[in-house]
Amino acid sequence: MENVDAYPAYRNNINKALDFITRGLDTSNNLHAMALGTYVLSRANHNSKAAFLQRLDSLAINADGHKWWNKTAPTNEQHSPWYNTTRSVNIEISAYAALALLENNLVGDALPVLNWLMDQRNAFGGFVASQDTVVGLQALLMFAERFSTQANNVQIGFHYGEGAETILNVNAQNSLALQSVELPSSIKNISVSATGRGMALAQVSYKYNTNVTSAWPRFVLDPTVNRNSHADYLHLSACASFVSVPGDAERSNMAVMEVQLPSGFVVDTDTLPTLESSERIKKVETQQRNTKVVIYFDYLDRREVCPTLHAYKTVKVTKHRPVPVVMYDYYDNARRARQFYRAPKSNICDICEHANCGDICEKAEKHEAKEEPKPAKQRRSKRISRDENRGQWKSKAEFVLSLIGYAIGIGNVWRFPYLCYRSGGGAFLVPYMLMVLLAGIPLFYMEVLIGQFSGTGCTGMFRLVPILKGTGICMVIVNWYCVCYYSVIISYPIRMIYYCFWKIVPWVNCNHSWNTPNCTAVDELHKVGDENFKTSADEFYQ
């Protein structure tokens, strides 16, 4: 149809096809067929396009300045929460309707539809699936081509928090590039402003997780861990079938199964070609570095299909949490199901490599044997009380100041310039700064971060690496020597303060038991000609 001018010999065939579409739309109640057929008739400038466009518009939903089309759910599925979420089929229908309106230059009628489409986009600019993404972006692109300008220069500002602001510039050079900024998760209110000239699209996206098994399942989904599985090997069978309901199809469209593997496991990719040759399985792919398997089915019906996966543990992890298997209809994501399964049981003995693993495993087994499942409230209160007993920093500033006070003392202030002078002056700073950047700061951060992460002191945190277990004890011994040294240094000012209360301080005369015959009082220095003399102050500090 788009090449009718290039191939006039097929004009008669195209007209017959358009007449066939017209006759089919007259008797069809399929909303998707109505939207697609109206767009085709509008592209061909068919005589009946206005009538079908009016009929399509009468089936639209209008609310809050938005217009869209919603495929009716089966009678017993109308209360399903999945039919109230963004559905790929509704996006596709509305996108075809927007294309039909734009083909007829009804921009005012198309704007509410385009606004609704933009509200359904995800954070990456697409929609739910690939099919609706292609059609939806085509509608938005047609609008942009007609109303965009080469002098596009728009500044979009996002204002949030206490005076925080992010500015994004959209101009002719980057108008086709997606710009994004991640806001803090604590932000609840955001205001958006725009200045400049031209057109740009801005949106705020958010997401969250729900810890529930999929309600209103349209698939029977039963992931089972086979008995031959163990701590390092997973043999999973995920059986699935379609649940047909009155007023809906007996089988699904293309169905997709997403199998998430437990932490530390990766799928055995050598077994995937065999899986692809199974009944109704058209494609198998892996994601997230072989930790997630996506299986595409041609369709599913009441007959059960049980794909089997093999996975091996490559990273030592214990105490696994349940992981999900998700099943959904590719073209109607309201048809879905989700079930969780658990990895083969493992404990700390399976990952322990320390020399004292026997004691650790024995304690862990006793603890697991005694530990009974407790209500969430009790577990939470126990955790809170444990954290409260541990010392806490009042603020980030207090933590930073404590680090500065630990690293920088009075010795750094008065001794460092003297060391620079004795070691070559400014040239000494070059190797000094290199060692600070390459060794000093990394070691300092390592000590701080490991201690904060493990929640233990220096004697315990180096158990992370068995060969360094004694490092923390050595640090304590070195610090003990430093304490002795600092105690001596601090005692001198205390002694000087004590002498300041004397009427005559002891270092100004030679009337003390420690003085020698060569001692000369400070006020008699001008009378002495002997080079072997010592002042009373010299002898006092010796």
Helix (H), strand (E), coil (C) string for 401-446: HHHHHHHCCHHHHHHHHHHHHHCCHHHHHHHHHHHHHHHHHHHHHH
d(CA 408, CA 402): 10
Phi, psi of 431 (to 5 degrees): -65, -30
Q: Which residue from 73, 71, 105 is spatially nearest to 88, judged by alpha carbons?
A: 71
State the binding site: 405, 407, 412
State the binding site for Na(+): 405, 407, 412
In this structure, the number of other CB atoms found within 10 A of the CB of residue 479 comes to 12
Give DSSP secondary structure letters for 148-204: --TT-EEEEEEEETTTEEEEEEEETTTTTS----PPPTT---EEEEEEEES------
Q: Which residue from 311, 327, 284 is spatially nearest to 225, judged by alpha carbons?
A: 311
Q: Check residue 384 and give its pLDDT.
A: 38
Q: Check residue 42 and give its pLDDT.
A: 92
Q: How buried is 523 (Cβ within 10 angstroms: 0-12 exposed, 13-18 middle, 19+ buried)? A: exposed
- List domains and CATH numbers for the chain: 8-146 (1.50.10.20), 219-349 (2.60.40.690), 372-455 (no CATH)
Q: Which amino acid belongs to residue 31? A: L
CB-based contact 218:87 (threshold 8 Å): no
d(CA 199, CA 300): 45
CB-based contact 154:173 (threshold 8 Å): no
C-alpha dist (Å) from residue 82 to 69, 70, 297, 301: 16, 13, 21, 20
C-alpha dist (Å) from residue 475 to 433, 438, 449, 457, 460: 24, 21, 16, 11, 11
Q: Check residue 412 and give its pLDDT.
A: 66
Q: Check residue 74 and give its pLDDT.
A: 64
Tokens of 163: 């005076």
Q: Which residue from 58, 17, 14 is spatially nearest to 35, judged by alpha carbons?
A: 58
Tell me the mean pLDDT per 10 residues along the chain, length 542: 66 87 89 92 90 92 90 65 72 93 91 90 82 89 79 89 88 83 86 89 77 67 89 91 81 93 92 86 92 94 91 87 91 85 80 63 61 44 41 73 72 71 79 86 76 66 72 85 83 83 81 79 63 74 70
CB-based contact 128:87 (threshold 8 Å): yes
Q: Which residue from 171, 161, 160, 144 is spatially nearest to 193, judged by alpha carbons?
A: 160
Our CA dihedral for 184, 186, 188, 193, rounded to 10 degrees, sits at: -20
CB-based contact 1:40 (threshold 8 Å): yes
Indicate the DSSP class of residue 233.
Answer: E
Q: Which residue from 239, 234, 242 is spatially nearest to 222, judged by alpha carbons?
A: 239
Q: Check residue 94 and give its pLDDT.
A: 94
Q: Check residue 37 and give its pLDDT.
A: 93
Q: Check residue 405 and give its pLDDT.
A: 74
In this structure, the number of other CB atoms found within 10 A of the CB of residue 489 comes to 10
Bridge partners (DSSP) of residue 185 are none
Q: Which residue from 54, 21, 45, 34 is spatially nearest to 103, judged by alpha carbons?
A: 45
Q: Which residue from 133, 318, 322 is spatially nearest to 211, judged by alpha carbons?
A: 322
Q: Check residue 79 and give its pLDDT.
A: 60
Q: Check residue 381 and give its pLDDT.
A: 38
CB-based contact 281:296 (threshold 8 Å): yes
Q: Check residue 383 and give its pLDDT.
A: 37
In this structure, the number of other CB atoms found within 10 A of the CB of residue 110 comes to 23
